[in-house]
Structure 1
């Protein structure tokens, strides 16, 4: 009772304070304070327009290493905040929906962004900066024995801790031994992918599981061999490619490795690919005009589907090559729902009621979190839950009674003033 009495006295004091005209200012919310950020300003990037749908922010200076961020431009000209692709010296190449972004000459003071799309390459020089330290050497991750393989291409042969690798790069028809070869990457062969093709030539990494692999390049029916440096033996987990004619002058090359399925789409008579499908980009866009997609790209048995003609032509389907015995996928296998799968059941009324109740309580919880400390801070009202938790009926009754007394006294004073008037 003693506690309740003290609380009642406080309530009475509050009720009296409400009669003072100046009391309103006590309930005013404090003026917002200006916040000064101590975070250093981001480096100024040079923006270049790749095409009407893509822009690139490029950074390179004496104090910062080269970096490029690619963004999508909306139809209204605004730029989407999410980065489409990001390149730097540690990650110089990225393929997105068939468009290949490459940061060439990344170790030099004057790197160049190249964009390969629809068989054409466009270059965008970065601002001049500082060359990497130390300078490129034979111990670099992408350095190796460069040999000319024709059609303006070189094969950079490596066999180090990563295992045997043959990096196929385009350097142009005038390349000579000793010239720089850190240019456009067309493909890379290793123990996870042993076959590919580009610019009218097919490539195969043979004896990949041995200590002495050999790259075989076939052009116009003529095969040439290029031995790789000696290395360690290891298991090869890549299947031979499978060629599928899908109509409309298009062929599909199907690959399967521990990294998952991959489809390279090529147009007849073209030395370069048109589109690449994989786990990250498993289907063509509707704007491409045909259907080509990988069904269950992260599943145990992915399937390639296509349709290049209308008029009720059924979908074509074919399986991917099988991995060698003993090889496993290096990602978690997840099977996708097919179109015939049953839809998820609708939530029951009981569940719906719980959800509605939770949503209704959310504003109250948010309000509780921002109530300032103190009994009269900022004029905040306690939420229903807080009032219920006090469980002090004496205080409530006393407060209500005091408010009634104050009201009665006010009415009495008003009558006396009228009588005297």
Structure 2
């Protein structure tokens, strides 16, 4: 009898121990998954943050040397001021509980944000979204380069990061009235918002001195450093591997690999087709168009990067590469002076790529037997975001122009914004030589 009781006790002990081991293993696996997802989200956020350097290089390289420091200052403060305002109100409007139009809870990152259903810490999700918000704001910098008053630009940056962008984000990503739309990483939410705001800003601001002649003809105003612009494009391409795969906010989601592939294929196709198109159109393989073609492919695929296959990604990138060449020309012929092509790259190709999801999405796309429902949903989102963003941004820039002033004086523009807005120059070794030569010529008897 004692032996039987002993055996039963032994079995009971073994059962309890094994259950504890299984429970502990399950708990460890779950905590490990959360840790991996958190680390992946943070890594992706850091990659997207580095895109700020890419934007700075692209915009500086495509514009003139006398304004390079002003470009850097705008990019730096887009992120600095933008981070503060996005922490205070932007994130709550975008992802806080509220209504179909905007979030109304969670200001200053308070509360639990249980409505998001996150496994990772809210702080990890916030930093990832903050760098997205800064990207949308920075897009506008290039389109308004070389003639914008710095104080006016800062005022714009606060409003787009705090209100205009977060409301669109809430509509599509935060449970708002466009939540059925497919925009995985933000072709519309991030890039079109930035592009349409850039269009509004460039229109209110007007062109640079000497850009357009009285007869309507256009003068080319080349940037000062194509190598810098190319470096910026490579940095942006690199950062996009955080932008798109990172939008899973889950390193344990193995779809990050296929998303990285579709991202890369679309960028490569965009660059290739932009090069070929410019070659046929101008007789030369245009460098700046090819660089913007890579960005066009990246912007175009961002909406559907998780929804299309590799062939679809190549087609989306290729079409975006063709569109960018004609979009840049079309906007220029409207006499909207965009020194870096931001409206065409981010606004036009962002909308174009979002619409193409309705054709190429493997699940629900028109070309895969899904009918027109998804395409109509995408079109509704694209049109709604354009109306909201362009109208609010245009009104904002008009108010800024009336209250603060948006455009520098003619004399300030001619001298360069580095000197007139910041009291410094980006290339000081050049300036003294120039001044010295002027003084020598003035004092010369010849």
Q: Same fold (TM over 0.5)?
A: no
- TM-score bucket of the superposed structures, by smaller chain: under 0.3
Whichever of the two has the greater Rg, that structure is 1
TM (norm. structure 1) is 0.20
TM-score (norm 2): 0.20
